[in-house]
Amino acid sequence: MLSVLSNVLIQIGFPKTGSTYLQEWFKAHPSIMYGGKSILGFYDSWEIERYVQQATYFQYHTIKLSAIGLRGNVHQMIQSDFTNNQIDLYQARLAETMYRLFPTAKVLIVTRGFKSMLASLYTEYIVTGGTAPFSAFFDQYKPGILKAYNYDNLVRCFQTVYGEENVIVLPFELLQDDPNKFIQSIERALQIENSIQFATSKVNASPTKKYLYANLRLSNFVYKSIRFFPLAVQRRLYGFYARLLNKRKNHFLIQKLALLSKKEIEVEVTNQMLAPFQSNAAVLKERMAFSNYLDEYLLM
């Protein structure tokens, strides 16, 4: 038995594309009922996929919708495992699965320009315990990143099942430049009123280059300090260290190291690195929201 939810907005949340900002807006907007970082009890899209393969039916207890205005559910999905070499196939299967669960939903996809995206992913890699320089990071994760950030494939997967009119695609750069215009674009697509004044400041600001350099140095120090232990012990110890990093941002020790450091993290995204992405965003070229950002998506 499948109970269908109406008035659902599904956000496909790429890392570092304003998801924290959007979560705050979802929670504040009177016309949106925000479901948090879960999809009806599933934390992410991988859990949905596993459950679909095992379960014979779904049954959902839905909240009664208000008779006045649009009261919907907003669910965020995060998919960022760049080691999976079948991400493109997974995205197609995910779109079909979500359509089975929410056939009347609208889908929000927020993209990010390729150069900025690579630098941002490396930042995320460092603050979660990564130890490699940028060039080595890129070489290691390049195949997965190329597939995960194939906007053509992802957008078309969801357009195929939901229809082009039900897939909202916006650039993160618009959120950076004009948050009000970004939000208004979502409201128009959802046909809800602009009824709140929402702060336009960053909710989840990126760490400084000095902080990132200190973080990278500390991670390398920890990694080298434990390499004489058996491999299984190394994994447990470094896993514990990584969990400490993930518990909070702006760690006191790293902040102090950053103050003492005269160096900053160096991230040089070369044209050679960007070249493979040139065929990944053609579907965005004719969208009005992207008209000022074609260069960021290698569409010039």
What's residue 48's pLDDT?
57
The predicted structure's pLDDT at residue 85: 62
- Give yes or no: residues 200 and 128 share one domain: yes
Judge whether 272 lies within some domain: no
* Residue 134 pLDDT > 90: yes
In this predicted structure, the answer to whether residue 300 has a pLDDT above a threshold of 60 is: yes
Ranked by mean pLDDT, the top range of 1-5, 33-37, 253-257 is 253-257
pLDDT tens digit string along 213-229?
999 999 999 999 999 99
Residue 300 inside a domain? The answer is no
Q: Which residue has the higher pLDDT, 79 or 152?
A: 152
Average pLDDT of the chain, as a whole number:
80
214 and 175 part of one domain: no
Most confident stretch, 58-67, 127-136, 243-252: 127-136
Closest to 147 (Cα-Cα) out of 77, 79, 78, 86:
86
* C-alpha to C-alpha distance for 299 and 106, rounded to whole angstroms: 26
pLDDT at residue 126 greater than cutoff 80: yes
Residue 138 domain flag: yes
CB of 289 closer than 8 Å to CB of 174: yes
pLDDT at 158 over 90: yes
Task: Tell me if 112 is assigned to some domain.
Answer: yes
What is the tens place of the pLDDT at every residue in 52-66? 555 433 333 222 222
Domain containing 33 equals: 8-205+279-290
Report pLDDT for 44: 57
Does the residue 271 lie in any domain? Answer: no
d(CA 175, CA 110): 9
Asked, for residue 299, whether it belongs to a domain, the answer is no
Q: Sheet containing 167-171: which strands, arranged edge to edge?
A: 32-34, 72-78, 8-13, 106-111, 167-171
Do 147 and 169 sit in the same domain of this protein?
A: yes
Residues 183-203 have pLDDT tens digits of: 999 989 988 877 666 665 665
Question: What CATH number is given to the structural domain containing 140?
Answer: 3.40.50.300
pLDDT at 72 over 50: no
**pLDDT tens digits along 225-246:** 999 999 999 999 999 998 888 8
Same domain, 37 and 124: yes
Same domain, 161 and 250: no
More confident residue, 291 or 34: 291
Q: Is the pLDDT of residue 68 over 50?
A: no
**What is the total count of domains within the chain?**
2
The fraction of the chain above a pLDDT of 90, given in percent, is 45
Q: Are residues 49 and 147 in the same domain?
A: yes
Query: What is the C-alpha separation between 105 and 75, in angstroms, rounded?
Result: 11
Residue 188 lies in a domain: yes
